[in-house]
Every structure is written in structure tokens, then in C-alpha cells.
Structure 1
Amino acid sequence: MTALSTPTVRAPHAHDILFEPYQLGNLRLKNRFAMAPMGPLGFSDADGGWNARGIEYYVARAKGGTGLIITGVTFCENPGEDVPRPSVASSVVNPGHFIRTSNEMTERIHAYDAKILLQISPGFGRVIMPNFIKPGNLPIAPSPIPHRWTDLTCREMTVEEIHTTVKNAGKGALNGKRGGFDGVQIHAVHEGYLLDQFAISMFNQRTDSYGGSLENRLRFAREVLEEIKTTCGDDYPVTLRFSPKSMIKDWRVGAMPGEVFEEKGRDMEEGIEAARLLTDWGYDAIDLDIGSYDAWYWSHPPMYQAKGLYMPYSKQVKDALPDVPVILAGRMDDGDRAVRAITEGFADMISLGRPLLADPEWVNKLRAGRTETIRPCISCQEGCMGRIQAYAALNCAVNPEAGREADHKIRPAIRPKKVMVIGAGMAGLEAARVLAERGHKPEVFEAGDRLGGVVVAGGMPSFKEDDHDLIAWYAGQLEELQVPVHLSTAVTEQMIGSTDADHVILATGSAPRRLELGDALPVTEAIDALLDPSSLIGKRVAIVGGGLTGCELALHLKELDDTTQVTIVEAGDDVLSMSGPLCHANHDMLHDLVTYKGVEVVANAFAQRTTAAGLEVAVQDARLTVEADAVVTAIGYQSSARLVDAVNASRIPFHVLGDARKVSNIMYAIWDAFEVATEL
């Protein structure tokens, strides 16, 4: 008989604590990771149940190793809000259908030893989206206060409507329990949603038992909890999405990071007391973030916010209430930062939202020590929040399969082809990756000496570091897939004419638009300035163009040396007025940062020429000089598809992708490439 070999003892892993089991109420979780709740737009059917897309979406994250899945918001049907279906799932519209489709999902999630909470919303209140308001109706709120998005004044929610909503929350939770959910999360005393509006004195001006003292303002949230515990049992876990601080300077005005201001919403002192009351009453855990719809770039942090931005606030809550389980969100997509949060008492669990959109296998890859294979979230919010706002669908800019796992899969090629990929920007890289995964034989040719195209320059500011991480991820993927990559190789017409490729992908990107301003001062294009800003540091710099590139360059220069005096010369009424698509949170924060960082803006101005004194601009019928030592042009890009005629002449089938087809953003470069490469 062969002797048994001695088991290999695995060396301690730096992230092991994140994979220790954790007890949340009566739930034993296999690790410390939760999937953050994100608006599940596009994942339900007309009867309020889960469709195939929704089921596959959540199952993919459980398969990827996440210990606790928290669904995005579902409705319990507030009688004051007539939200159209199928926007998101509802646990009370058609209970039998909801229970059936929920069991189909939860059974599969449980197969991966993951648990799942159903997030239930009592309502939006003053932050309800305008397209959800029927003509002639008014949005509800605790009191007659301004609607967040329009000039409407909300009507006061009646006590009867409150009581009906509380009852519906209990019914919805019970249907969730019958559907296999392991608990519920209440949405939410956070971000300025309806329960949060009742909890904050700025919004709640009632004089009945739901207004006045903090206990009264939290009564709605308490009654929802008590109804669920009565209906589902005291041991059925109920967690709460909660923001201990609102970051509100005024109606629709948020505070900047580090800014000293008077909090008009909930401050930390009241936030800690509210957390104490809510958990004393029976909430089993706090799922913590910071912000509100009036300071939206806190609740949905863009790349301009720091990584781990909620950690200081979470630490205050844990120090004051050490026995309260806290789930921490907020750009926590780094294993070392997550370990610190657990070991130093910032939180008990780590919540990942957008990182799990970008890579559903994030947790498994961290556990295996293969962090270099994690596809990074770049915090652009174009595929998630941007798509929700524009198309009522949750997706991801860097992962075209997110939210479409059921019907947008990479399948093996029937007949492998040799594909010449010209250009190694985002479109070329994604096309090569997907083609190789399918079994095709792509070969990449790049005229420059680096992968990434214009994203290399765009990723130079510290707040855009994830753009460079995305390029590095593609480099690693192509190496693993053994895709030949030829750098510093400009494809010629002769090369196209002599290739034996079966197909050509033309992804030659875009080139900056140029502006002739004379030579009285140094004039640099934005890409060159981003790649090497050394000649601009500490100078007076005029940036022509207040789009995304111009504004980010201005912040980058101020970040490198705050003594640099930056003036943006913008032809439109305001900066970012003529930019491409930008999620509200990203747009608003970048716009506000320009002013906050001391960047001067000259609007409705057209650059004319440089002079010894600076940049001469035309403003209406007048001319003025913007004092400057140097000028940078950031007036957009134009497609660079010079090889189209050569490819046409070769008679080889081809596609033009990315900026070479139409100048847009990272998301559409990747999405277009994925679409074509999966069907080739």
C-alpha cells in the first residue's frame, strides 16, 4: 500500500482574515465580503418578479466568491408613489410569481454557500426620478419641501400612507422569506431616500408623532423593522442601509472633501445616536455609507473621491458602538485596505459594489492571490449610474457582460480566423482579448511604444490611476492568452496588402484637434501636457477647452503644485457643457472641484492668438487678454481612420471600432469591440 503523502501546509496569506467566517445575526457567512446593493434596473419583469438577466447577474457574483449578496432596491408599494413596472422587482404586486422567481435565484446562490438579503424600499420621496411622476401628481415627502430634480414642491405624506407602507414592508419581507432570502435590508436611512427624509430635520418639519425629536423622526424606520420582525420572526435578520453624515451645505449643494462647512443634514453626532437607537430597537447590522442626493458624489463616489473615503466615519461609529456589526462600502477595492478596515476596527465586513460589476470573480481572485487578474473598476460610472439614468439598465463600462450574463456570453468560434488588429487602445485591446478567448488568432499592431492609446495620457492624474490599472490588466490578459503584440509598429498600406489575415480590426483611435494660436507663447496640446506637465508647474496656464480633458488637466496641475494659476477658456456657457456623456455624480463633482480648487473660468470665450501678455480671447463683441505664460489646447478629438481605404482595397472583411469609428469614451470603445469580437 502506498503511504499517504504529508499534506502541504499553506503559508499564511496576507488577506486570510477576510476569508474567515463571520456571524451576522443568525447567518453564518463564509467570508467578510458583501455585494453592495445597486439599482437592479433591467432585472425584473412586468409582474414584479426576477427575469433571467437578474437571476444570472446575482448568481455570477455568488459564484465569484462573495459571501453575502444584497440585492438592489425592490419595492413594497408605497401608496403615495405609483412607480411604473417593470422598473425593479416588487415583492407584493404578484406574491406567487415573486416567490417562484426568487426561489429560482436563491437556490442557485445557496449552492455556492453564499447568503442573500432582499433590499426593500418604503419609497423615494423627494428624490424620485421625474419620469416616475405621473402628470398631475406630486412627489411625496415628510413635509412640503422642494423636489430634488424639478421645481415641484412635494406634498406631505399622510399617516394612513405611512401605515400602509409599513404593512406592505412586512408583507414584502415575508414573501422574500418564502422566496428563500436569508434576510432583508431596509432601504434606507441613507442618501436622502424617504426614510432618511423622515429622519433628518431639514426635510422633516412635521408636528405629529413622526416629527420633532430624533426618536419621532426615526419612528417610520422603527415601525418598518417591528412589522418585519412580527411577520417574519425575531430571528429573521434585518439590516439597514445607513448614512451617519449627509454632507449637505444647502438644498442641492454638497460639500467638498476636507471642506469646513455647516452640516444642514445629519451630522456625525446625531448619526451615531441614530445608529444607537436603530440597533437598540433591533436592526441587526448597519450597512454604512456617507452622503445624500443633495451631495450625490458622496453616495456614488467618482474617481475624484479618495479610495476608502467612508473609513473615517465608519471608525467613529465603531468606536462609539463597538458591538454593532458594520458593513463598509466606498471604493474598498483593495485587499490590503480591506484587511486594515477589519483589523483596525473600521468595520466588520467589506461591501463591494462597482468592483463586482467590473469583475464578478473579484473575491475568488483575491483569495487565490491572483490580484493582477482582477479587472479594475475605473469609477467612471458610465455603465452603472449613467446607464440607469439614461436607459434604466444597470451595466458596466469595462465589463460588457455585466447585467447581461444571461444573453451576452463569450462562446467558442466555429471557425477560428486570423485577425489583424490595428491599434492597441481600449477597442483594439478588448477586441484582441475576446477574439483570443473564443479561439481566434488575433495579432496586435500598435504605432506607439505603449498599450492604451489616449488613455495613457488620460490616466496620468492621481485620481485616474485605475485607468492605468485597466491597461495593465489588458496587457496581462493578452500575455496569458499568448496574443502577439507589436509595439512601435506603424501599419502601412503595403502591410495590409500583403497580410494573410482573414479579418481586420481597425482601431486606430483618435487624434487631438489642433488650434493655431501663433508662437508668442508656448502652446501645448492636452495629451502632451498630461504626459509631461513639468514646463507648466508653477506657471500661469491658460487651458483652451473646458470639457472633461481640460477640467481634469486643470485639477492635475493644481494637484501637482497649488501655486500654478490655471484659467480655463470655454466657448460654452459653462465648463463641461459640451462634453460627452458623464454620470451626474461625476459631472457635478468635477464641475464643483474646478471652482473649489481655485481654477478661474472664462465662459463664452473664443481663443484668438497668443501675445507677449498672454492669450487673447473674444468674449461677445469684446477682446480681453488672459494673463498666461503658457497655453494648453483641449478642444476635443477627431477620428483617425486613415487606413480605411487601404483595408477596403485589400477586400479583406473588416470592422472599424472605437474612436476610429466615432469619438466617444472608454465604455463605448470596449462595448463596441466586445460586440463585434463575440460575433466574428
Structure 2
Amino acid sequence: MVVAYTRLFEPIKIGKVEIKNKIAMAPMGVLGLATQDGCFSKRVVDYYVERAKGGTGLIITSVTKVDNEIERFKAGAVPVATVNPLHFIATAGELTERVHAYGTKIFLQLGMGFGRVAAPILLESQPVAPSAIPNFWDPSITCRELTTAEVETLVQRASEAAEIAVEAGFDGVEIHAMHEGYLLDQFTIALFNRRGDKYGGALEDRLTFPIEIVRAIKDRVGKDFPVVLRFSIKNYIKDWRQGGLPGENFQEKGRDVEEALAAAKILEGAGYDGFDADAGSYDAWYWAHPPVYQKHGCYLPLTQRLKEVVKVPVIVAGRLEIPELAEEALVKGQADMIAIGRGLLTDPYWVNKVMTGRSKNIRPCIGCHDGCLGRGFLGRPLSCTVNPACGREEEYAIDRAPEAKQVMVIGGGVAGMEAARVAALRGHRVSLYEKSDRLGGHVVEAAVPDFKADDGRLLEWYKTELGELQVEIHLNQEVTPDFVQQQNPDAVIVATGSTPAIPDIAGINKDKVTTVSDLLLGKKQAGGRVVIIGGGLAGCETALWLAQQGKDVTIIEILDDLMRAGIPVPYMNRMMLLDLLKMNGVKWLTETSVLEVTDDGVTLISKTYQRSTLPADTVILAVGFAADQRLYNALRDKIPNLYLIGDSREPRNILAAIWEGYEVGRGI
């Protein structure tokens, strides 16, 4: 076996702990998977063990609070090491034993609290902070300022939690976090810290809290036990609850690069054994959790600066799941270790696939956040849009079927392809029929903008997998009810997708009118002045794409804000897209409808019945899709074992399509 990416697979030491390769699993919250007493559930154990089996060198766990008295979270919201230490050691001990069997090291991430960024719905008490400042999610709520004694208690609890980590078999701890604007970070940022005690004032004083933590841990468990710091090199805070975009010229109100570099040297001197570096804050959440609109490797220019001033290892994440980019970052000296977050949710075997030359088989992350953080906002457990088994690895695994069956899949969008893939993995004989000349459904057009290239990577992955599984693929073949009955399959999965909805508007049939789908597929071209009817995700992304081409774009939306209908767009994706629309000059009118498409443009009517006109060379329809159930309805009383999935059931998002395909394919 020849390993193509040699730097990725070199061992590395953090402190005196040697790690077998330079790939870490970035810390991500195990939302909804903690037990009621703050311990790791069996699902959490299975989740991390799967990534160890996949070859990951270092796993950094989800944030585990060191205390739940000073900032009281509701039971089970997040793990807490000190609520039931004996049970925590028992469950975490099983985790570390199993992970270690695969030669993987594992660090427990310890959190001091959330502070101003704690969602009130998770709290059983008033939110706390370094000073009396507004809560991020509900600015009408003022956070309670922590007393000096309470901060000292958190330092003590951190050392106790580190001792618990040692007892549970962890190889080190990571302190969460002087990053993303969590409680510890709030103490270090002057914007949030107005204290007059030893924890406030100049930079050195604002660093007292993280310095006391590392010293207390080293005093309690020994200087050789590694302590890494999660560390944001730049906050990108333009103002309260306002982030700064890549390339935007703004005054940093949080921690800028020069202050971060000065802080890093002080913190290294205090005893930290490494920096797990990134950028951002809740005010600029699209940096801390980079969505599809951020470039791959978005933190690398910052970590390159950090490496110039510290000697301890620097770990970096930031959409580095593309192997070539990860290897290049190590070769260029931009980092010492690569952390992969969502890329290990989509494919826990990322490491082994890269090592064995199977990079084309890596299931890609599409940067949507729907399955990971988006599910947290819906009150549902952590998972992944393109990997439905994430977070439920054992109970939702794909097993061989007791009997091989003939399965017909009708429709080659992501729902149909996923159903075909999973059914084939089960050992069934699968035939997939697609009426157009290519696979992918609406994802084909969605992948056209440069910033949606990862959607295209997903489609290529499906084609690779279906080819290797020997799924029979029939393109340019529209299936009829008679054809299905002639083939007489054991199971039929209808995934015929959806068609663009056409609103009942005067003039809608004019040549200047097109759908988002036809525009992106190149069937129609946009003129210089564009009106988009519909401010959902598809309309907004199309508006950005056209504005980046120099078009004058206006979005017309009947609701009171953009991207508010249907399944919620995850917060970081929505905020970055809105900010990008503003930066690129896109205009929008809310609570407004189009009455008529005219030769000159469109006639509008507002919520208060005020009419106006807007010139337009092109009018684009982005008002959603209508399910195509014609074939299903023709078959429903004639075919047993008939299933309806994806957009043909109800137009939604990629997550719904893939998850239904997985569920049905797994159930046959």
C-alpha cells in the first residue's frame, strides 16, 4: 500500500502523548445524546468508537461542563463531569477503553460555561457573564455578573473535572473555550469584560481566568497531562450581534489577530500544550461554524500567523475535509495537525479511505448544517444530512438482508440514489430509472453556483458508489405503470421528485419569465435587471449568484423576512447569506407580492395595498416546488411494497430526501 498523503500520516506529540497520525476529530456538541445526569450515553460511545475505527488519530470530545450550579443547564442538555462523577467515569471509561483499542487517543473537552451565548431555553437560571451584558439570543435579558468567588470556583471545578478525566482514561483535556465567545472567551474580550477585579482590565489581567485553569489542572494531575486550549485568532465582531465577512473592511470590536498573537505567547508560557485554533464568535457565527459560503481552509491564513509565535502544536479545522488541502496545509507549515469536524460526521472512515487511496469514496460534507447544528435548533439529536446513521451508528447500521430481492427505484435524485445505494448494500438487485440524461434531480442545478460546488461533489460520490455496487442505471427512460407491472419487481420505490411551482400571476407566461431551475441549467439567460419572486433559500442563493455576476437583483417576498418559510435555514447559513446579499448589493422587498409581469417589469402590491412598479429584464420564479405523484397514484392500488420518498412525497430539503431514501432502502 502506498500512502499518497505522507504528512497527514506522520505521528505527532502533544506534550508527551504520541498520536499515530495528524488527523483529529474536531470537538462538536453531542446535542441530545447526553444522559439526564450529564454522562455519555451508549449512542455517544458508539459515535466516537466509529470514528476511531475509521482511523482518526485524536478524538476531541463534545464540550463537557465542569459545573452545573453557577450556570444551571437543564438536565441532559450537555454532559457535565461533576454532577455524577462515578457514573461519568463509568460511561466515559468504557468509551476510552474502546477508542484506545484502535490506537486512537482521546481528549475530553472541558467547558467553563456558555455565558451570554447560553440559549435561555436551555437554562434553569438567569444567564451569567463576566459583566452585566445582554444575552445573545434574547438581548432583553441581562446576564448576571459572576462574582470573583464564583470564577475561582470554576477554576477549582476545572481541576476536579481534569482529575475525573484522568480516572476515566482520557489522554488529555481541551479547555473550552477561549473561542467562539463562550464564557471563558468573554472574560478575555474587552467588549464583554468590564470587571474591576483580578479577572478584568488589561489583556494580561483578562487572561487570568484561562491561566489559573491550566495551572490548577497541572498542579492537580501533573505537568505531563496535556492541556490544549480551543483558541480563536480573530473574532470577526463588527458590532453586537453583527459579524464581518471575508474580505470586508471593518473595525474589529472583539479580539483581533495582533492581540491574539500576544495572548498566545502568554498562554503558552502559562503551560498550555497546544492550541486548537479557529476564528469567529456567536456574533459572527458563520466563522466559528463555516457554512457552504465559506472557503475550504478558511482559517489557514490565521493559523500560519499563530505558528510564527508559538512552539507548541497548532491544530486547525475550518472545512479541511478535502485531503489535498489538508496535506498542503501541513506541507506549508500552516498547522501541525488537521482537525476535521463535519467531514467525520459525513464519513467516519475518512482517514482510512485517504490512507488507502480511496478519496473518491469519501462522502462529502455539503456545508448545510441541517443535520448537525440545525437539528439542535429543532430540539433533535445530533446527526448528519448525508449520513443518517451519524449519532445512532449501531441501531441504524446497514445489515445484509436475509433474502435478496429485485428492487426498482424510479427517479435519480438524491432520494432515489440513496435508496438504491442502501438497498444494494443490503444485497438486493437494484435497478434505477431516470427520465432525464443525468442523475441528481434538483441538486444538479443547485450545484451550479461556485459556492455550491460541494453539492456537485456529493453527486459524484453517489455515481461512484452506485457504480461500485453495480446498480443498474437507466437514463433517458420514463417509467410507465405498464412497464412497472411488466418488470414485476419485489419492491418499487417512487422518487419522481418535484416540478417548479408556477404562481397564478398575470403575464407569468411572458418570455422574460423563467424558473430558478431553468436559469441555473442554462435554459434561459438573465438580463441586467432581475426580479426574483420568492425569498426562500433557493431564491436568495440564486440572487447572490447573479449579483456576483454584476446583475442588478431585487427579491420580492410575501413574508416579513427572507428564508422564513418551511424548514428553518440554520442560523449561521442564513446570517452569512443575508450579509453576502447586502455586500453584493442585492435589494429585497418584504410583505410584498407581484400582481403582474409587464413588458417593462413587474407591478407590485404591498401589505398595505400600495401599488408600485419595478423595471426588470428577467423575472425568476423561486416560489417552491410541487410534488410529482402521478406515477405513484397510478400504481398505489396495483403494486405491493410500493414506497413514495423525497420531493415526490413533499418538497423539502436534501436531508429529508436522503433520510427517507436511507430508511426505505434499509427496510426492504
After TM superposition, the score normalised by the length of structure 2 is 0.97
Out of 287, 292, 297, which is 1:303 matched to? 292
Q: Which residue of 1 aligns with 2:594?
A: 607
Q: SS state of the match for residue 409, structure 1?
A: coil
Which residue type is aligned with residue 227 of structure 2?
V
The letter of the residue matching 1:508 is T
Q: 2:213, 2:657 → 1: CA distance?
A: 45
Whether 1:82 and 2:82 are equivalent positions in the alignment is no
Which of 290, 302, 305 is residue 313 of structure 1 equivalent to?
A: 302
Q: Which residue of 2 aligns with 1:206?
A: 195
> Structure 2 counterpart of 1:672, which letter?
E
**1:397 alignment partner, one of 385, 404, 416:** 385
SS at match of 2:403: coil
| Alignment match of 2:516 (pick from 522, 526, 531) | 526
SS of corresponding position for 1:117: strand
- 1:294 maps to amino acid: D
Hey, what's the Cα distance between the residues in 2 that align with 1:147 and 1:418? Answer: 57
Deviations 1:271-303 (A, max 9, x none): 111111111100000001100011111101110
1:6 corresponds to which residue? none
- Return the offset for 1:392: 4.6
Residue 260 in 1 paired to residue 249 in 2?
yes
Once the 2 structures are TM-superposed, how far is the Cα of residue 674 of structure 1 from its aligned partner?
1.2
Shift in Å, 1:315: 1.1
1:432-581 correspondence runs (5 A): 432-515=420-503, 516-518=505-507, 522-532=512-522, 535-536=525-526, 539-559=528-548, 561-562=549-550, 564-581=551-568
Matched residue, 2:643: 655
* Residue of structure 2 in register with 1:597 after alignment: 584
C-alpha deviation, 1:650, in angstroms: 2.0
In structure 2, what is the equivalent of residue 109 of structure 1?
99
Of residues 314, 318, 329, the one that matches 2:317 is 329
1:626 matched residue in structure 2: 614
Residue by residue over 1:561-596, the C-alpha shift from the partner in whole angstroms, topping out at 9 and shown as x without a partner, is 22x111111111122122432111111111221112
Paired residue for 2:417?
Answer: 429
Is residue 400 of structure 2 the alignment partner of residue 412 of structure 1?
yes
- Structure 1 residues 94-103 or 265-274, which shifts more? 94-103
Give 3-state SS (helix, strand or coil) of 1:119's partner.
strand
Q: Could you tell me which residue of structure 1 aligns to residue 9 of structure 2?
A: 19
Counterpart Cα distance in 2 of 1:72 and 1:517: 54
Counterpart secondary structure, 2:333: coil
Q: Give the 3 Å change call, closer, same or farther, for CA 487–401 of structure 1 in structure 2.
A: same
Return the letter of the residue paired with 1:97. Answer: H
Work out whether residues 78 and 165 of structure 1, in 8 Å CA contact, stay in contact via their aligned partners in 2. Answer: no
1:187 and 1:541 map into 2 onto residues whose CA distance is 46
Structure 2: give runs of 5+ residues left out of the alignment. none
Deviation of 1:224 after TM superposition, in Å, equals: 1.1
Alpha-carbon distance in 1 for matches of 2:525, 2:131: 55
Q: Distance in 2 between matches of 1:299 and 1:395?
A: 19
SS of match in other structure, 2:173: strand
State the alpha-carbon separation in 2 of the partners of residues 450 and 30 from structure 1: 42
1:341-373 Cα deviation digits (max 9, x unpaired): 111111100000000000000011111111110
- Residue 272 of structure 2 is matched in structure 1 by 283
Cα displacement (A) at 1:406: 2.6
Tell me the amino acid that sits aligned with residue 304 of structure 1.
Y
Superposition pairs of residues 656-671 of structure 1, within 5 angstroms: 656-671=644-659
Which one of 230, 233, 236 corresponds to residue 241 of structure 1?
230
Task: Provide closer, same or farther for how the CA distance between residues 139 and 583 of structure 1 changes in structure 2, counting only shifts above 3 A.
Answer: same
Tell me the secondary structure at the aligned position of residue 161 of structure 1.
helix
- Helix, strand or coil: the match of 2:378? helix
Match of 1:650, as an amino acid?
K
**Distance in 2 of aligned mates of 1:184 and 1:99:** 14
CA contact (8 A) 1:42 1:54 kept: no
In 1, Cα distance between equivalents of 2:480 and 2:66: 62
CA RMSD for the aligned pairs?
A: 1.4
Query: Is contact 1:571-1:605 (8 Å) kept?
Result: yes
Bigger mean CA deviation after superposition, 578-587 or 142-151: 578-587
Report deviation, 1:87: 2.1
Q: Does 1:383 align with 2:367?
A: no
Give the one of 110, 121, 127 matched to 1:120. 110
CA distance in 1, matches of 2:325, 2:84: 43
Q: Secondary structure at the match of 2:626?
A: strand
1:219 and 2:208 are equivalent in the alignment? yes
CA–CA separation in structure 2 for the residues paired with 1:648 and 1:21: 58
1:608 partner amino acid: L
Report the alpha carbon displacement of residue 133 of structure 1 after superposing the two structures with TM: 2.2
- For 1:155-176, what per-residue CA distance to the aligned partner results, in whole angstroms no more than 9, with x for missing partners? 1001111111111111111111
What is the alpha-carbon distance in structure 1 between the residues aligned to residue 345 and residue 244 of structure 2? 28
8 Å CA contact 1:521–1:631 kept in 2: the answer is: no
Moved more, 357-366 or 655-664: 655-664
Q: In 2, are the aligned partners of 1:521 and 1:614 still within 8 Å (CA)?
A: no
Matching of residues 333-372 of structure 1 within 5 Å: 333-372=321-360
In structure 2, which of residues 27, 37, 54 is the aligned counterpart of residue 47 of structure 1?
37
Corresponding residue for residue 174 of structure 1: 163
Q: In structure 2, how many angstroms separate the alpha carbons of the residues matched to 1:521 and 1:486?
A: 34
Structure 2 match to 1:145: 133
Deviating more after overlay: 115-124 vs 620-629 = 620-629
Q: Cα distance, 1:533 vs. partner?
A: 7.5
Q: Secondary structure at the match of 2:630?
A: coil
Identity %: 47
Tell me which residue corresponds to 1:155. Answer: 144
Unaligned runs of 5+ in 1: 1-9
Please tell me whether residue 99 in structure 1 is matched to residue 99 in structure 2: no
Matched, 1:588 2:575: yes
CA distance in 2, matches of 1:435, 1:520: 44
Q: Secondary structure at the match of 1:320?
A: coil
Q: Which residue of 2 aligns with 1:7?
A: none
Report deviation, 1:646. 2.1
Aligned pair count reads 664
